[in-house]
Amino acid sequence: MRLNAYLARAGVASRRRADELIKAGRVRVNGAPGELNTDVRARDMVEVDGDRVRPQKLAYVLLHKPGDVVTTARDPHGRRTVVDLIGRRPGIVPVGRLDADTTGALLLTNDGQLAHRLAHPRYEVDKAYVADVEGRPDAGTLRRLAEGIELEDGRTSPARVRRLGPSRVELTIHEGRKHQVKRMFEAVGHPVVRLHRSLYAGLSADDLKPGASRELTTEEANALRTLVRRPR
C-alpha cells in the first residue's frame, strides 16, 4: 500500500495532506524517512511525529439521510452533519454529497479507493432519485429528461425516467454534477419541491428510519468493489 494511502487508512489525514506530511519529513517507515513512493507492507512500522500509527479496519455504513443535515464530516457553521448521525469514527466520510434538504441513501466509508471510484463519473454508478415537482410533467417533458438536458455546464447524459404519480418522477442518472437533478427539472419548467435518493449503487436505505444507519454486509461491500472494478 502506498504510504499516503496507509496514512489515510490510519485516519491521520487525507491523501493530499498525507503527502504534505511526508514531504515535511514528519513520517518515518521502519526508522527511515518516508518518501512519496514508499510502499508499506503489513509488518512495517509507520510513525508520524514519533507516534506509531496503524490502519483502521475498513468500514462501510449506509445512512438514511434526513433533511436539514449537511453532507460533510465537519461544518464550520455548527450544523448537524451526516457523520454526527453515525457517531464520529476517524477516517469515515461521506461518498459524494446530498443537498441539505435532500433525503435518502448515503454511503460513508474509510475505504478511500472505493469512495473515489464510486464518486468518479467514468465508473457510471447509478443513483436513483424520486422528485416531487411543481406542475404535472407531460410525456414530452419526461422524454427530454431521458434524452439529456442542456445545462450551463454542458448536456447531461441520457437518464432513465419513470412516472410515479402526476407530480412525482423517478430519475436515474450516473453523473454527479452539483444540484444536477434540481437543475434538470428546473430547466424543463418543473422545479423540485422534495427530493429523495431512493437508490445508490444498488443500495436502498428506505427500510431504515430517517437518521438511522447500518453497516453493509460483506456481500454488499464486495458487490460495490465489483461494480467499480473497471471503468465503463
Give me the catalytic one of 99, 101, 153, 206: 99
Known catalytic membership, residue 99: yes
Amino acid at 95: V
Task: Please tell me the distance from the alpha carbon of residue 101 to that of residue 82, in angstroms, as a whole number.
Answer: 12
How open is the CA angle 173-175-177, to the nearest 5 degrees? 120
Residue 4, Cβ density class (10 Å: 0-12 exposed, 13-18 middle, ≥19 buried): buried
Of 214, 217, 6, which Cα lies nearest the Cα of 110? 6
Q: Where are the beta strands (DSSP E) in 101-175?
A: 103-109, 127-133, 150-151, 154-155, 160-165, 168-173
Give the active site residues: 99
